[in-house]
Structure 1
Amino acid sequence: MTPAAAEAGAEPTPTTTAPTTAPTAAPTGRATFAALRVRNFRIYATGQAFANTGVWVQNIALDWLTLELTHSPAAVGIAMALQFLPILLFGMHGGMIADRYPKRTILIVTQLCSASVAATLAVLTTTGHVTVGAIYALALVAGFVIALDNPTRQAFVGEVVPPQHLRNAVALNAAVFQSTRLVGPALSSVLIGTVGPGWAFAVNALLYVGPTITLSSMRTAELQPPAAVPRARGQLRSALRYVADRPHVGWTIALVGVFGTFGLNFPVVLTAMASDTFDAGAGLYGTFNVVLAVGSIAGALLAGARSHSRLRLILLLGAGFGVAQTLAALAPNLGSFVVALVVMGVTNLAFQAIANSSVQLWVDHEYRGRVMGLYALVFMGGTPIGGPVVGWVTEHVGVRAGMALCGTVPLVAAVAVAGVLALQPVLARRRAAAAALAG
């Protein structure tokens, strides 16, 4: 298939060593949960359910604790940005390590490191010694763990399930993550309101035992690891050239980067919407996260039921998310705001799951860790830029202005990419016609 066809939205043909897409039969309820027939994936997903519940418990508590200590949405944005700064600097290096070493071993180590960060936060907070500086420092440490964990985790799914189940496994992983969003924020709100945020951090540290055990108990003989990529010079540059030669991959990653930088600053805008716009506390912020999760689960399951996708669908979902978040910023009351949050959840997770699985299916095994490192870099590494910007707009211009910014930028980006792709066949025909006349 020509690059022009891929850019126009057709499903690109995988390269010779890349996994093929799943069969194009009509989606069914059985297809929606196909990856769960793989024992190792069931074990892996169970461990992720524990870890992700703890992540939501900690995220809610950390956002609210930062806001309580500083009374500044911008400070929440800075704390969030520091978690993702290492990805901006070392995201592709994390993917390179994932290509070189056993991914399951790397993930066990990152789980233990994350548990240590959570335990440190718990001790500092419960003893009354927590400061904004300590929060910032631990957020930065957690960021280095994420820089290694995220690309490794995304590439590891391709070892747990066969290629025909990869798209479904990515979507189900997202559904598990969002399902825990129904439990984690509620549990965090209860802990904050009764025993304090320090115990929320302690619960997160304890829950990391789950994925450590499940990763250790997987049947290694049933995993499908690619051959390790030997150390060599220029491996990061070669991965960038690899992406540049595949426009459908490059455009998808670029759009994902815009989303990560500006579209997904929920901790900044939702804490401020709860406290300033609707005059409520941590309970309403937790409820907002639950509402987002309801829509997100639906979006992830819809994505998992699809046997194939096109770049055109990714652009459409991206634009839909931008419209939904812009409407949420303009919502006149709590009821309409909640409805907009549900739509945001559906379009956001469908976009993320389809974009993630498509990129993995479009690339060769030996490049997957580095390409997913680049994916993580642009998706999460832009937060050090977008988080403080959105926080500043939220604090100095207004909460609704900050949230509108988070919606309009992805919307404009999706429309712009669609416009560029639509023009390319026209320009190609013009160039061909001019060449024919010149000849």
Structure 2
Amino acid sequence: MRLDTRRLNSIFRALESRNYRLFFAGQGLSLIGTWMTQTATIWLVYDLTNSALLLGVVGFAQQIPNFLLTPFAGVFVDRWNRHRTLLITQVLAMIQSLALATLALTGTIQIWQIIALSVFQGFINAFDMPTRQAFVVEIVEKKENLGNAIALNSSVFSGARLIGPAIAGFVIAAVGTGACFLIDGISYIAVITGLLAMRLPARSLKLKASKEPIWQKLTEGFTYAFGFPPIRSLLLLIALVSFMGMPYTVLAPIFATEILQGGPQTLGFLMAASGLGALMGAIYLSSRQTIIGLGKIIATAPAVFGLALIVFALSHVLWLSLLALLFVGASLILQATSSNTILQTIVDEDKRGRVMSFYTVAFISMVTFGNLAAGSLASQIGAANTLVIGGLFCILGSLLFTRQLPALRKLVRPIYLRMGVLSKAH
């Protein structure tokens, strides 16, 4: 029993920090609502239009502001008060969800309104996501727990991915999509309350003034990130998987209805299976004591993702589709979280916001073009063939990164030695 308690404490060691506990708890509740809205939105779009192309367009609308604005947002993340920025983004996101709820519950919602509100949410996310990533460093008191905190963030995100879509499926079937949007809007109260309750050191409250032009700071960050092969390779691999593989989420209603002959509950189960896999992957990473070995995980995960995606694309039975998405979710979170941990470990502090903005572009915003391309391609060759092509590219990316891994390790080794992550004997 003592051993189990020790193991459990190890998994949740980042929660020793009070501010991180507040952040973790608030996020957990809010993200369930977010995933309910994500599931309800794609169901509503497909119900209104019966169009694979418009599923891709809505996904594109939400992500295009991310792609265009996030690199610039990274500059401001390195200058602004991150705590205050998060408060503002959460309030705006709550307003967006309540607007969706009002339109849906009154029966006046139209596709153009969904697209417009998706663009607005994308604008919010462009500033929220890199700020959220960089803010974790400020609220984890023991820096050796940073990797654990990042993994726990992925756990709560994945847990919400498991619970939110499953709840959404039943809520949509029972009372409609509007209730999902309303629950999401209310859930933001949790994260806002957590942020307001934090006690931050004076240094975290100061603005970081800089007279250098934004373009100069952006160019400096880009040169730094893409001039160092380990950072560049991690970002490019994430971008590839996001572009070629992640669009399975916007095509999921087609599989739920036309291939598996189900309804909103089926869509909820599919999304929840992916969330369960992601949660399992995140818990595994939370239990790890060191970042050593994450490179091998990053190299392998996209191949597993690609294979599982192909199985899902070709499946015509629910149990096999659920099993495939379990591996899709697990492998995706293993790659993304491991990459995040290594990036946060090796990046210079004064460039953290910009590098994390590039990470956000690679992981989240590249889905922008992937959604649009997948929706267009699926309308021509079918959703299944589209996902098979995506899976094959993910496998290819995995093989290329594996070839580069020995050279990348040599470049990262001096940083790990300087930080004490490695001893000279290794």
Q: Give the TM-score of the pair, scaled to structure 1.
A: 0.86
Structure 1 residue 59 corresponds to structure 2 residue 42: no
Q: Deviations over 1:17-65 (max 9, x none)?
A: xxxxxxxxxx954332211121111110000012101101111111100
Q: Please show how residues 238-317 of structure 1 align to structure 2 within 5 Å.
A: 238-306=220-288, 307-309=290-292, 310-317=294-301
1:116 & 1:101 partners in 2: Cα distance? Answer: 23
Give the structure 2 partner of residue 212 of structure 1: 192
Comparing both chains, which one has the higher relative contact order based on Cα–Cα distances under 8 Å and sequence gaps of 6 or more?
1
Give the structure 2 partner of residue 418 of structure 1: 402
Give the structure 1 partner of residue 47 of structure 2: 68
Give the structure 2 partner of residue 186 of structure 1: 166
2:189 & 2:207 partners in 1: Cα distance? Answer: 29
**Contact 2:81 2:207 (C-alpha < 8 Å) held by counterparts:** no
Residue range with higher mean Cα deviation, 246-255 or 187-196 = 187-196
2:114 to 122, 135, 149: 135
Q: Deviations over 1:361-381 (max 9, x none)?
A: 110111000110111112222
Inter-CA distance 36–179: structure 2 relative to 1 (3 Å threshold)? same
The alpha-carbon deviation at position 250 of structure 1 amounts to 0.9
1:332 & 1:181 partners in 2: Cα distance? Answer: 23
Q: Please show how residues 225-244 of structure 1 align to structure 2 within 5 Å.
A: 228=208, 230-233=210-213, 234-244=216-226
1:174 to 144, 154, 162: 154
Q: Deviations over 1:205-229 (max 9, x none)?
A: 1111110110010111398679826
1:423 & 1:138 partners in 2: Cα distance? Answer: 45
Local SS of the residue matching 1:279: coil
Give the structure 2 partner of residue 94 of structure 1: 73
Inter-CA distance 227–141: structure 2 relative to 1 (3 Å threshold)? closer
2:333 & 2:206 partners in 1: Cα distance? Answer: 28
Q: Deviations over 1:285-343 (max 9, x none)?
A: 00111111211111001112221144333111122211221222223532222211111
Local SS of the residue matching 2:70: helix
Q: Deviations over 1:108-136 (max 9, x none)?
A: 10000001111111111112221111111
Give the structure 2 partner of residue 115 of structure 1: 94
Give the structure 2 partner of residue 347 of structure 1: 331
Q: Deviations over 1:79-103 (max 9, x none)?
A: 1111110111111111111111111
Give the structure 2 partner of residue 145 of structure 1: 124
Residue range with higher mean Cα deviation, 281-290 or 299-308 = 299-308
1:339 & 1:421 partners in 2: Cα distance? Answer: 30
Inter-CA distance 289–424: structure 2 relative to 1 (3 Å threshold)? closer
Residue range with higher mean Cα deviation, 74-83 or 222-231 = 222-231
Give the structure 2 partner of residue 338 of structure 1: 322
Local SS of the residue matching 2:359: helix
**Contact 1:45 1:176 (C-alpha < 8 Å) held by counterparts:** yes
Give the structure 2 partner of residue 429 of structure 1: none
2:312 to 328, 335, 342: 328
1:137 & 1:164 partners in 2: Cα distance? Answer: 42
**Contact 1:100 1:231 (C-alpha < 8 Å) held by counterparts:** no
Residue range with higher mean Cα deviation, 397-406 or 351-360 = 397-406
The alpha-carbon deviation at position 395 of structure 1 amounts to 2.6
1:223 & 1:401 partners in 2: Cα distance? Answer: 53
Paired residue type of 1:178: S
Give the structure 2 partner of residue 85 of structure 1: 64
Inter-CA distance 105–127: structure 2 relative to 1 (3 Å threshold)? same
Local SS of the residue matching 1:321: helix
The alpha-carbon deviation at position 268 of structure 1 amounts to 2.0
Local SS of the residue matching 1:100: coil
Give the structure 2 partner of residue 221 of structure 1: 201
Give the structure 2 partner of residue 35 of structure 1: 14
Inter-CA distance 341–217: structure 2 relative to 1 (3 Å threshold)? same
**Contact 1:226 1:366 (C-alpha < 8 Å) held by counterparts:** no
Give the structure 1 partner of residue 419 of structure 2: none
Paired residue type of 2:120: V
Local SS of the residue matching 1:220: coil
**Contact 1:40 1:219 (C-alpha < 8 Å) held by counterparts:** yes
Give the structure 2 partner of residue 24 of structure 1: none
Contiguous gaps of at least 5 residues in structure 1: 1-26, 426-439
The alpha-carbon deviation at position 421 of structure 1 amounts to 5.1
Local SS of the residue matching 2:129: helix
Residue range with higher mean Cα deviation, 324-333 or 54-63 = 324-333
Provide the aligned length of Structure 1 versus Structure 2: 399
Inter-CA distance 287–28: structure 2 relative to 1 (3 Å threshold)? same
1:153 & 1:68 partners in 2: Cα distance? Answer: 33
Q: Deviations over 1:156-198 (max 9, x none)?
A: 1111113211111111111111112232112212221222111
Q: Give the TM-score of the pair, scaled to structure 2.
A: 0.89
Residue range with higher mean Cα deviation, 386-395 or 134-143 = 386-395
Paired residue type of 1:267: T
Give the structure 1 partner of residue 413 of structure 2: none
1:355 & 1:226 partners in 2: Cα distance? Answer: 29
Give the structure 2 partner of residue 18 of structure 1: none
Paired residue type of 2:147: R
Give the structure 2 partner of residue 375 of structure 1: 359
